[in-house]
Structure 1
């Protein structure tokens, strides 16, 4: 698109005439940062600031009227991008979900009623291995006003018996308009087949769905669980595309069993993960509705394409280390899901990656914090008072459009492979998601992607985790590799009384070494290695500092010019003092020419594989 007004050229004027000035400013900043002449930059230098998601989408640094898209139809109208309902209560917003199921029915009932009295408006009941016994369901649900609080079962292979028991409770519940009662049975055989979770088989789920259709309540038997893909490492478009492919497989199976297409759509609901990438989360829920609406349109059932969406804050993004940061993560995730139009949102407790009581806080406190995150968003920020408040945002609309296209492309790839079940059996779904998980893992290991409190800004002063917590570490979580290093440090501390140590050797004045000393200490701490920082050292003082520290590792920190003058002698002094491993903060080219007889053993730079380097350092010190 041309820059500025092009009067007389036959070209339309630029909708953002200020864009040329902004582009010139960007070029100036980039030229200065890269130490090049602005003329050496591309014609559109702003694209050097583009970011690429794991789905391959390009995120631009600025969105303007150039990116404007046609306004989507109103909420409750096909293709439901702006929301599935035109009549959602603005005083309520989305449903505030919470899980209950301790194994004891009376305690579970108290949890449910206490939650409902304090802001919860949707209940997920754990049954069997997930919570109360099937026979105790009536006790657990005693006092629940079903028309006000939707109920979802989390029952795995016990869902058939659990559903029968819930129906018995509902049959004795007095209500004239029984369609107000919303129940989700939670059967998820196709997505459970991917995750390996115990569940009923597809034929049993189809039979349950047929029985649900005959009920006077609004019952949906099947949950299409996108979280199964998310927890395996899927990117957003992969999660949505795989979920839609699974939903399509359910539709085919239901209609093949004789269920009318409109009734088949009425038996499905979706569950997706909400992450701390708030804009991606907003776009994901909007894009997922668009895709499912398109499926309904192709099936000739456009009016039934607004399946309910349940959001659960991502378990993969949660951390065991510095877990209080999880409060911020889940707040962003709940915000994204709510603004994105999820019908209900469940926030995981901030300490959900740890055993109960690990932090010395009660389970009720953690549950209250999770609940109140949503209540603050709904009742103080009043986010639920406007449907699809992100609509009209050039960024959100563009991201929704691009994410929907990429998710549809992934779904089509699965369809071309024979459909969801064939793609599952062939390993295609797992292979594609594994590629994304590996790319994300590499970015985290190289600290290109920050996990606050884990690979960035770690807090070595926090109490070591219990053996139970270390044993329960999950590979699903993004920070798991770094937390495994911290576990090794904790074990070393328990065995020796001290953490693994490394001596920071600052060369020159503070202005020269400060950035690299902070960087080195941060990297070391992410692997559980404590830094000993004696302050600026001369070459003559290095040996004494090394002896006093008792550290087997040293890291030289200074400016490149200073390295050329002093690094050689510093390495020699550290070797002579008995330091076994000497690293240098900076690239190897910084010491291409120096007078020392020995070279550093390694180099700490911004993009090293920190997990691999730190693991090797821990091995060297016996951790």
Structure 2
């Protein structure tokens, strides 16, 4: 079958033809098409036992599962209605949320509003996590002030101050590591069970890092924090106890599950090397559904993406999971959709997984899978190699300052962008099965600060093409249109016709039978050889200045008197091809309909 598919003699496939079905991830990890008992690895220790591959704890309440962490305060700004935030917070807690994540300062909820937002929250039952970026000190002070007035038993309060100074550096902000260390010392000495430092891997993921790069960079940042915390007066175990890891969960189910398992394994190894007690290497993991995978076009598909991501994170052993609302890539949301609906769908995605599918009732359900165990081991090895590369460069801050970190991540981002552009990494609703009739979104993509890692969504190149089409529609009253010239009976060319129509729509281009400057010939390779030259001549006679071929160039008869002006074929750079088509189709928009 493989020889037939590749159109070669079976003898040419070599001694291990099955290896031709292998794929390689952006981190260089090889994935086999099939895993068998021959791939079995030694069984890792049970959950709760060093190195925590199978789970951070063996004592998780399986009737509850992982923590459902909902986010509040993002984008509310100085004029935020703290009462409305409090209403939303209480509603979430009454309807299934188990912990709260507040983004504070700047364009988010003001620090002064935190106390009102937490009014009525039992802090000894609902852990609170802060995220304030460069305003980490002010945010922490606001929460500590809340603790001074709470009626809760402080010994039962669990909270995370969310200082992430290295993430602030990555985003082009000031160096606040000393301030974070001071907060960590205060948190360690506080009566409440407070932790302080977030090792945020999502910033690397959002910039385009592969899974192993995300883990390796997070390890390097974690070690940088440990050095600073121990230099600031904390012993190794206390320093380890101040860290929580934030990891991106994507719709690549097995990769996300293996990433979380590998992350725990690697950090346990770091804790062992620095002399910590075995239990100190069990840092909490907070999984957040990927912002990079979210699309502005057909945002409803984001519900499917986040459901798979939440599933993978829960199966992978995350301690808490946050599902981003399906319209989070749109600054103003989806027209006609309330913020409360989007937030409810995000929260209920997890509740369905926990309360109806009962995913939390089994610890490490993927454990023992030949594929997952092998992928966990391979990711661990690749991540450790990247971590040691950063350490050899002088550590996290040195690698960031020298540009090494950005250079390595940018190379991966380029490779992924190429796959997206060539539709090897299909995006449903964007590069595949787009809806040209949907209302155009309002994009407010901001450029990265100088020296900062960029934040990129994978759908952006195709969305930029759609934005051009929407602008043309608004100016002229019609979308850019290409004339399809189908050769032969429908049953013969229907597959290629559907493929071509889908491709054009991904760039905001309508396909139809009408006249226009661009025509695309659509048929089988055999039909091109028999009827192609005559169809090409007819298209030119009908006024088409550009005639393209749907299919590979080799399908056209080489001895034909005229050749198409180009082609549309699988594997080619669709973004570049569609951009050129839009250049041709929108070159003259002077005739605007009245």
Relative to the length of structure 2, the TM-score reads 0.94
Contact 1:156 1:200 in 2 (8 A): no
Contact 1:76 1:84 in 2 (8 A): yes
Q: Does 1:223 align with 2:198?
A: yes
Structure 1 segment 416-427 matched on structure 2, within 5 A: 416-427=392-403
- In the alignment, what sits opposite 1:500? 480
Distance in 2, Cα, partners of 1:194 & 1:147: 34
Contact 1:568 1:594 in 2 (8 A): no
Distance 1:199 1:166, change over 3 A: farther
Structure 1 segment 63-102 matched on structure 2, within 5 A: 63-101=35-73, 102=76
Contact 2:420 2:426 in 1 (8 A): yes
Distance 1:411 1:362, change over 3 A: same
**3-state SS of paired residue (1:323):** coil
Structure 1 segment 33-52 matched on structure 2, within 5 A: 33-52=5-24
- In the alignment, what sits opposite 2:105? 128
Contact 1:159 1:200 in 2 (8 A): no
- In the alignment, what sits opposite 1:541? none
1:414-466 deviations in whole A, cap 9, x for unaligned? 0111111111111110000000000000011011111111111111122233x
What is the RMSD of the two structures over their aligned residues, measured on CA atoms?
1.6
- In the alignment, what sits opposite 2:335? 359
Distance 1:475 1:585, change over 3 A: farther
How much has 1:173 moved relative to structure 2?
2.4
How much has 1:122 moved relative to structure 2?
0.9
Structure 1 segment 44-193 matched on structure 2, within 5 A: 44-101=16-73, 102=76, 103-176=80-153, 178-193=154-169
1:148-207 deviations in whole A, cap 9, x for unaligned? 21101122232212212211221332344x3432211111111221133x4661111111
Q: Does 1:284 align with 2:249?
A: no
How much has 1:472 moved relative to structure 2?
7.0
Q: 1:326 aligns with which of 299, 302, 317?
A: 302
Distance in 2, Cα, partners of 1:464 & 1:106: 33
Distance in 2, Cα, partners of 1:290 & 1:455: 36
Q: Does 1:267 align with 2:236?
A: no
Q: 2:209 aligns with which of 225, 234, 246?
A: 234
Q: Does 1:567 align with 2:497?
A: no
Contact 2:134 2:168 in 1 (8 A): no
How much has 1:477 moved relative to structure 2?
0.5
How much has 1:551 moved relative to structure 2?
2.1
Contact 1:287 1:404 in 2 (8 A): yes
| Higher alpha-carbon deviation: 166-175 or 434-443 | 166-175
How much has 1:353 moved relative to structure 2?
0.8
**3-state SS of paired residue (1:490):** helix
**3-state SS of paired residue (2:106):** helix
Q: 1:605 aligns with which of 569, 572, 575?
A: 569
How many aligned residue pairs are there? 575
Contact 1:96 1:346 in 2 (8 A): yes
- In the alignment, what sits opposite 1:522? 502
How much has 1:91 moved relative to structure 2?
1.2
- In the alignment, what sits opposite 1:373? 349
**Unaligned stretches of 5+ in structure 2?**
448-453, 588-594
Contact 2:520 2:550 in 1 (8 A): yes
Distance in 2, Cα, partners of 1:247 & 1:595: 64
Contact 2:519 2:544 in 1 (8 A): yes
Q: Bigger relative contact order, structure 1 or 2, given CA contacts below 8 A and separation 6+?
A: 2
How much has 1:109 moved relative to structure 2?
0.7
Q: 2:552 aligns with which of 587, 605, 609?
A: 587
Contact 2:111 2:139 in 1 (8 A): yes
Distance in 1, Cα, partners of 2:107 & 2:37: 50
Q: Does 1:346 align with 2:346?
A: no
- In the alignment, what sits opposite 2:458? 478
Contact 2:323 2:347 in 1 (8 A): yes
Distance in 1, Cα, partners of 2:560 & 2:399: 60
Distance 1:475 1:241, change over 3 A: closer
**3-state SS of paired residue (2:87):** helix
| Higher alpha-carbon deviation: 381-390 or 41-50 | 41-50
Relative to the length of structure 1, the TM-score reads 0.90
- In the alignment, what sits opposite 2:515? 550
1:513-534 deviations in whole A, cap 9, x for unaligned? 22211111111111000010x4
Distance 1:78 1:179, change over 3 A: farther
